[in-house]
Chains A and B, each alone.
Chain A
Amino acid sequence: MIDTLVGIVALTLAAGTPLVIAALGELVVERSGVLNLGVEGMMLIGAVAGFIVTVHTHMPWLGVAAAIVAGAAMALVFAIVAVSLQANQVASGLALSLLGIGLSAFVGQPYVAAVVDPIKAINWPPLSSLPVLGPLLFAYNPLVYVSVALAAGVHLFLLHSRAGLVLRAVGESPRSAHAIGYRVLAIRYAAVLFGGACAGLAGAYLSLAFTPLWSEGMTSGRGWIALALVVFATWRPYRVLLGAWLFGAVTLAQFQVQAAGIEIAPQLLAMLPYAATIVVLAWMSRDAAAIRRHSPASLGKPFHPQR
């Protein structure tokens, strides 16, 4: 019984990890006042880039690095269009997602049947083989620990560092920040690139650790769910962790139901995470005043120093 529970917790964390990473990245982007809807596209590019590099080099960590760079490169395209050139952020983000979906399918097509050396879960003999505590704490994929560390890091950065204070100030009022001498566009570029790097890393986790293979559109909406998680978390990092793991559990539920021998068509079960996203989003958003209080005041509005 306890082993089943431990197994569920372990799988939940494993399923929630890409959401944690991608949502934390987007959270930083949104805190700077920029809305990047291209998370799905950046994740896919990260997934395919990490996979291809690993296929050729057999070095999964090099693949991870490639995924981070590729995600950031996609984010750079977004930053040029939406931050420098002032384009509508909603449209630019959608364009980035569509581009990412198309580009990843295009470059990934020859690799659909390829196999890679995956990133393996850690195994620290005395600790990992402990009963209960071993699988509960010491037997995850390294990227799972990275995701938790990232949450702590983003929390410390945003709320306890001067740079984080500046970033929040830019998201609150770019006009004021500009007036007292901060380089709003440079700060927003940095945030957007960080978001892209995180999305790329989240993609690499999918294609190199969670399900080590490449298939077209393999993120299946996780990038969009990550965006919803930022709202769910009301722009606070530790809540992202909770929300992402909750979604991990929901994703898992479909397999649990099937394992329990309950007869439901797989398509209907597969709807669960998406339906849950809608319900959670509606539930969290219904207090409009709270959302407005917590969301960065300039979110989604282009800023140009000259205007």
Chain B
Amino acid sequence: MAPFRLEARNAPSSLAKWLAPPLAAIAMVACGFVLFAVLGKDPVAALHAFFVAPVATRYGIGELLLKASPLALIATGLAIGYRANVWNIGAEGQLAVGAIAAGGVALALDASGPLVVLPLMFVAGALAGALWAAIPAWLRTRCNANEILTSLMLVYIATLLLSYMVHGPWRDPEGFNFPQSRMFAASALLPVIVEGTRLNAGTLVTLAVVAAAWLFVARTLVGFEMRVAGLAPGAAQYAGVSPAKVVWIGMLCGGACAGVAGVNEIAGPIGQLLPSVSPGYGFAAIIVAFVGRLHPAGIVVASLLMSLLYLGGEAAQVALALPSSITGLFQGTLLLFLLAADVLIHYRVRIGARTAMATP
């Protein structure tokens, strides 16, 4: 017999729903402890170097927020779709396409002032991201094609497109043949908002989007309909919600947010187009969306945790001589632990085998 068994609850536990993410985070840190010990590092010192040291300075806090910003932004957009069972997992590609479009604007208009260039970059980035996401939306509504696979295939195509642009048409002629564009003019760069950090105005854009998304999902009829479509497709049909509309809204929101995140990256810390403009934010944001319970407030908290994993990975490279890919390891573990912990929402776990049949 199994060492434990599940007993259905009469109603889902909302306590367990909000307790599961911290539980998963604790389990992840515990795994890290074991992992560092196995690798022959002092686990306490290693955990300190990974999770504490990176944010011990003002600059570190700035970096934390800087990296959390695209994660929160993308996850907010994706969550709108996920709540409705629209599985856009191609945010990484939508981000790249947003960066290409905004980069094109920046390169073409670098003589104009920032009040012209930056808004245009955001519009171009959002539109391009949405357009890229419109492809899977169209294929799903017209051809019934699974959006998980199509949106993911488009990630490969988008990153190859970015690579092509910086290797070919947009390569900096004075860049010693490196695959990169010209540096953008100052008018195409986001202003830093906190002295002594790299934290820029893009974070404010993220906060505005998160607030708007909160209003959308919590208070509007369309937000409610999206939720119904995700929970019970039959009830959505009964309510008269168009399945195509749900797919379009879900995909376009995710695509536009990812596109804007791409703009934030190139107009912020990067300042030009490179073959890669994101260390996997589009995929990490999927985890952020789930860990944040697809809720804007939860997503903000989860994005900070995920950002810390990025900083910790960089620190591990320097301080512990471990590959920075340890970040991905932690990320995947966190999501799996969360999904496992979610069982507590609908079930009680009884330890021990089934009680023996008592004879009266």
Contact = CB atoms under 8 A, between A and B. Distances in A.
* A and B in contact, CB less than 8 Å: yes
Interface of A: 37, 41, 77, 80-82, 84-88, 90-92, 94-96, 98-103, 105-106, 109, 216, 220-221, 224-225, 227-228, 231, 265, 267-268, 270-271, 274-275, 277-278, 281-283, 285-288, 291, 304, 306-307
Contact of A281 (B150, B161, B167, B322): B150
Nearest to A287: B144
B13 interface: no
Given A95-B335, A285-B143, A102 B149 contact: no
Given A81-B339, A267-B164, A282 B145 contact: yes
B8 A277 contact: no
Contacts of A87: 339-340, 342-343
B328 A98 contact: yes
A227 B147 CA distance: 12
B91 to A, nearest CB: 12
Nearest 8 A-B pairs (CB), nearest first? A102-B328, A99-B332, A105-B325, A267-B164, A87-B339, A95-B335, A109-B323, A102-B329
A304 B286 CA distance: 26
A291 B145 CA distance: 10
Q: Interface on chain A toward B: helix, strand, loop, or mixed SS?
A: helix
Interface stretch (B151-159, B187-195, B197-205): B151-159
B153 A304 contact: no
Contact of A268 (B160, B290, B326, B328): B160
A267 B160 contact: yes
Interface of B: 2, 6-8, 87, 89, 135, 139, 142-146, 148-150, 152-154, 156-157, 160-161, 163-164, 167-168, 283, 286-287, 290, 322-323, 325-333, 335-336, 339-340, 342-343, 346-347
Given A85-B342, A270-B160, 12 more contacts: A85-B6, A85-B340, A91-B290, A99-B331, A99-B335, A102-B332, A109-B325, A227-B149, A278-B154, A285-B144, A285-B145, A306-B7
Contacts of B153: 221, 224-225, 228, 274-275, 277-278
A289 B161 CA distance: 35
Contacts of B287: 95, 98
Contacts of B87: 90
A291 B146 CA distance: 11
Among A41, A268, A274, the most chain B Cβ lie within 10 Å of the Cβ of: A274
A41 B330 CA distance: 14
Contact of B343 (A85, A101, A103, A286): A85
Nearest to B165: A267
14 contacts: A86-B346, A95-B339, A96-B336, A99-B332, A101-B332, A109-B323, A228-B149, A231-B146, A267-B167, A270-B160, A278-B154, A281-B145, A282-B143, A306-B8
Nearest to A98: B332
Contacts of A77: 336
